[in-house]
Amino acid sequence: MANLVGALRGEITRLSKKVVRDETAIMQKMSVQYRRAIADLKRRIAELEKKVGIIEKPLLGKPVAEQAPAVEVESLRFSAKGLAKLRKRLGLTAREFGKLIGVSDQSVYNWEFGRARPMATQLAAIAVARAMGRREARARIEKLG
């Protein structure tokens, strides 16, 4: 009788291990498939983020002065009153406008009161700022921190 109980116990153990191994093999195959799918999705996300970064970076990552297109400086005009009107139209403080252009707030004040004139790169940045609306200017300032 002891041999029969031992034989049954051994057989039950063997069969249960086999069933567990078969079920585990199925789960392992599914796990491998899911990991491959996740890795593929991560690669695709990285590619898309890189593309978005290429598009977004020039628009929002830098002050306007660094992204201003090459404009003929001779064709740009500067007026202290015009600059003050532009800043008020955008609803920005001198500090915010300076951050947008890439200069200090004191430079903006000096320009507005006619004590100084912007350099060529700054004139190009001001020309870019003229084409902006309030929302875009706010978004760029927030992006700059």
pLDDT digits (tens, 9 = 90+) for 80-123: 899 999 999 999 999 999 999 989 989 999 999 989 988 888 88
Summarize the confidence of residues 11-37 as an average pLDDT.
93
Where does the pLDDT of residue 52 fall: very low under 50, low under 70, confident under 90, or very high at 90 and above? confident
Do residues 125 and 63 make contact, with C-beta atoms less than 8 angstroms apart? Answer: yes
State how far the Cα of 92 lies from the Cα of 100, in Å rounded to an integer. Answer: 10
Where does the pLDDT of residue 145 fall: very low under 50, low under 70, confident under 90, or very high at 90 and above? confident
Give pTM, 2 decimals.
0.51
State how far the Cα of 88 lies from the Cα of 95, in Å rounded to an integer. Answer: 12
Do residues 100 and 64 make contact, with C-beta atoms less than 8 angstroms apart? Answer: yes
